[in-house]
Every structure is written in C-alpha cells, then in structure tokens.
Chains A and B, each alone.
Chain A
Amino acid sequence: MNDEQLQKELEEALAIEPTPHFLARVRREVETGKQRAAARVKWASATAGLAAVAVAIGIMLLEPSRPITPESTTPPEAVVLSPAVETPTPLLSPKATPKPTAIHVSPHSAEPEVLIDEREVAALRSFLQDVQERKIDPARLEGLFESGRKRARQRLSPCLSQRSIPLLLRR
C-alpha cells in the first residue's frame, strides 16, 4: 500500500456526513443557550437588587438609634428675634406695638443671625405684654427715663458746679 492509496482510504473513511437535521439542532441549541443566558442576566439583576434591599433593611434594623428622617439629620435651628424687636419703639405707641416674633432662620440663611438668651426673650415678652395690658404706663416710663438721664449728667460733672476755695500758706 502506498501513500496515495492510504490517503484515499482515509478520506473515504472520514467522508461521513452528519444527519440532515444536525445543523438545525445546533442552531436550536445555540438559540436555547441565548435564551438561557438572557434569563440568567435577568435573574442575576433581580437577585442583586433584592440583595441590595436586604442589606439596606439589615443596616436599618441593626442601627435603630440612627436618625432615619432627613429633618432630624439637619443641625438644630436657632431661635432668634428680629432686630426690630430689640429697639423698644412700641413703648411710645402701645397700639402699634408689634409682637416679638421668634422667627426660625435656617442655619443656611444669608442674613446674619442675632442670638438672644431665652431668659432675655421671656423678660422682653413679659414687659411688652405688661405695656399692652396697661400695667406699665409708657408716659410715666418716659418721665422716669428723663429724670434718670438728668441725674446721670449731674453725677458726671460734679467739679464744674463746685466753687474752689483758695489755700493760704503762712510762713
């Protein structure tokens, strides 16, 4: 047997054709593989989403003291009074006296904040209420302020009103 005869026999032995439906079977299998892969991707996405939700719930349950609402996470707001309330202009006209209003200013406000002690706020409110209820007479109060101012002027200039006594030295 020479090489050519051997080659010919080999080719004959391997000249086998697959069945006619073989290619269709392969195509079907490939298509099934595609669908399986798509389903795997969907399941993987769903599983990842559920896992993320479960982790988030777990964290929330394990840390109950942690504030949940966004409001509680912001710094505490300061109670301030508007600068107009500080000047006692309403004392002259009780009817037009504006009520001291505590306004809530956001910590992020652009206006400068004026912080007043809570006790001062309470005292001022009480004073204004007394004026409104006529327990304090603003006219009399004005007289008291005026006399107070006079006394202060006298105290401040005692040397100008006194006469100087000359001192005599004897030898």
Chain B
Amino acid sequence: MSRDLDQEFEARLAESSRLAFRVAYGVLRHREDAEDVAQEALTKAYRGFCRLRERDRYRAWLVRITWRMALDHRRSQKRRTARESVPTPNGASETATDVLVARERSERLWEAIDALPEKLRIVTILAGIEEHDIREVSLLLDLPEGTVKSRLFLARQRMKELLQ
C-alpha cells in the first residue's frame, strides 16, 4: 500500500476503532473478545482498504465486517465463554443495592436486545452507539432512512414489551 493510502487509513483508524469495538461489544458483550474481533476487523479493513472504491463508505464497510466477524465469534465461543456482566457506573454515592438494581436492569436490556431478530438488532445497536441518528444509521447500513425508522420503531416496541 502506498504512503498516501497508509496515511489515509491511519487517519480513519483513529476515528473508527471505537466504532468497531462498540459494534463488536454490542454482539459479544465481552471486552476482551470485542477488542480481539475489532482488531481483526480493522486489520482486514486495512488489507482491503486499497481496493475500496468509495472511501466515504469506509465506516459502513467496517461496520459490516465487524458485525459479521462478531457474530461468527459469538457462534464459535457461545458454549465456553460466559458473557461479561455489564460494568457498573462508578460512584461513591451508589450503594450495593443500587449497583445490583443497575446490573439487573442492564442484563434485562441485553436479553431484550438479544431476543430481537438480526435486522432489528443491528439497527438498535447502531442507533445506541455514539448517538447515531437515523441518517447516520441508514448510511452505515446502506438502507433508506424510512426503513431504518420503521425497524427502529419495531425494535423499541418489542423491547418495551419484553422489559415490562
């Protein structure tokens, strides 16, 4: 890869590494596994970066790579890896009861997310990352904004039913 491409990828790496990690974490909910998968996805993205015609589609491309790799990883690790419990917010004022309640609520939330079909799940996770709006999610998934809106609506309805 040429020096220019290297520099361009380096610039994109800095701003997209967190996105890849969070997408992987949204599937795996295990920090170390998510880092491994994100690292693998970013390395793969680097290898294919010179062949990517539309550079502005890089983030969407990276999301798709990471999502698929994370799903594959989860399938292969499902039996032996226990998922990480959601980290609790640090705060001196929080009591043990608050921590337990927060943890239970998070676990229920993740169970509701896991119960969603894949099409709705990815929309929900991307909408929850870095305050992505509908337009950003539609760009990342290469879907019309209307489709994203309807899928997000359906996902929230189902999650609310499960969480009540």
Contacts and interface: CB of A to CB of B under 8 A. Distances in A.
Contacts, number: 81
Contacts of A37: 47
Contacts of B31: 16, 18-19
Contact of B156 (A3, A11, A13, A30): A3
Nearest to B1: A34
Interface residues of A, number: 24
Interface in A7-58: 7, 9-14, 16-19, 22-23, 25-27, 29-30, 33-34, 37
A110 interface: no
A160 interface: no
A122 interface: no
Interface in A49-70: none
Nearest to A34: B1
B13 interface: yes
A23 B39 CA distance: 8
A144 interface: no
B98 to A, nearest CB: 14
Interface stretch (B53-61, B66-74, B125-133, B140-148): B125-133
A169 interface: no
A79 to B, nearest CB: 64
A1 interface: yes
A112 to B, nearest CB: 62
A18 B125 contact: no
Contacts of B117: none
B93 to A, nearest CB: 17
A159 to B, nearest CB: 104
Given A6-B160, A9-B105, A13-B128, A29 B18 contact: no
Given A25-B35, A26-B39, A10 B127 contact: yes
A106 B109 CA distance: 95
Contacts of B9: 30
Interface string B1-30: 100000001100110011001100110000
Contacts of B35: 18-19, 22, 25
B42 interface: yes
Contact of B39 (A9, A16, A22): A22
A14 B1 contact: no
12 contacts: A1-B164, A6-B156, A9-B109, A10-B113, A13-B86, A13-B106, A14-B25, A22-B21, A26-B43, A30-B13, A30-B42, A33-B46
Interface of A: 1, 3, 6-7, 9-14, 16-19, 22-23, 25-27, 29-30, 33-34, 37
